[in-house]
Amino acid sequence: MESKAYDCIRREDRGGGVSILWVARAKALNALNLATLREMERALLALSADPEVRAVILTGEGEKAFIAGADIVEMKEMSRGEAVDFSKTGQAVTRLLQLMPKPTLAAVNGFALGGGTEMAISCDFIFASESARFGLPEVTLGVIPGFGGTARLAHFVGMPMAKELIFSGRQVRADEALRVGLVNRVMPAAELLAATVEFAQEVVSNSMPAVRSAKKLLNEFSESNGLHYKLDSEAQEFGNLFGWHDQREGMAAFSEKRKPAFEGVRT
C-alpha cells in the first residue's frame, strides 16, 4: 500500500474514486515541516496521475487541528535561502491542489492557521466542522503568509476582509468563515468527513471531462489576475523578512510560549 511510503502523511482510498490525503502529525497539530510538504507534493502528483482517483480530500489527523500552519520550530532556524525554498515547496503543493485536473476538497476539522488556511483555500471546496478556526497569524510571528495567502485570499473574501485577516492575524470561527465566503459548508465534526466524501462522490458522478473543463476555466480566471507573478513576489518578500530581528523574535516567542517584543525595524 502506497501510504507505507510516507512518514508524515497517509493516503486512504474511499469508494467511487475518492481519495483522502491525511496530514498525520497530530502531536504538532499537523504543522507543515519541509518533510511533510515534500511528501504532500509527491502524493498529490501520484493522485493527480492515478486514473482511478477522481477527487482528492485533504484533512488532518486528530480532533484538534486540520493544519496549524507551517512548522514554526523548524522555520525559526531557516536562512533566507532556505525560507524561499520552503515557500516554493509549499507553493508547489498549493498549486497542485488548485490546478490538478480533478476536484480537491478540504475537510477542515479544527485549527487551520497560516499554511493551514492557505492549503484549504487552494482546494476547490472547503467543508468545515463547527470547531474549525481559520486565520493568517504570520504577522504575529514577524513574517507574511508564504503559501499563496496574500495571492489568493482576496479571491475568496474580497480585499477588505483579506486585509483585515492578514494585517490583524485574528482567528475566524466557522460561522464567520461561512458568512464571509471562506467556506462552502459548516457541520458538526462527527459528520464532516462522511459529508465531504459524499459531496465529492456526487461531483465525480457527473461528466468528468465537463468538471475538468469547468475547473480549468475557473482557474484560468484567477491565473489571468496574475497569480503566478503574485506567488513569486510572495516567496521573495517572505524570504526578505527572514534573518531580521522581528522574524527571529516572533518565532522564538512562539517556542518559548511568550509574547514577542517586536522592534518594528529591520536591524
Catalytic machinery residues = 118, 138
Burial 121-149 (b: 16+ CB within 10 A, else e): bbbbbbbbbebbbbbbbbbbbbbbbbbbb
Which residues 6+ apart lie within 8 Å of 153 measured at CB? 117, 121, 136, 145, 162, 165, 166
Does residue 195 contact residue 126 with C-beta atoms inside 8 Å? no
Q: Is residue 71 part of the contact set for ligand DAK (CB under 6 A)?
A: yes
Residue 205 neighbours by CB distance under 10 Å: 12
Beta bridge partners of 56: 19, 104
Binding mask 128-167 for ligand DAK (x = CB under 6 A): ---------xx--x-x-xxx--------------------
Segment lying near ligand DAK (by CB under 6 A), choices 50-58, 96-104, 111-119, 158-166 = 111-119
Closest CB to ligand DAK among 28 and 203?
28
Q: Is residue 17 part of the contact set for ligand DAK (CB under 6 A)?
A: no
Segment lying near ligand DAK (by CB under 6 A), choices 41-49, 66-74, 193-201, 208-216 = 66-74
Number of residues that bind ligand DAK (CB under 6 A): 26
What does the radius of gyration of the chain's CA atoms come to, in whole angstroms? Answer: 18
Among 13, 14, 16, 28, binds ligand DAK (CB under 6 A): 28
Q: Using CB under 6 A as the criterion, which residues of the chain lie in contact with ligand DAK when the complex forms?
A: 28-29, 31, 68-73, 83, 86-87, 90, 111, 113-115, 137-138, 141, 143, 145-147, 235, 238
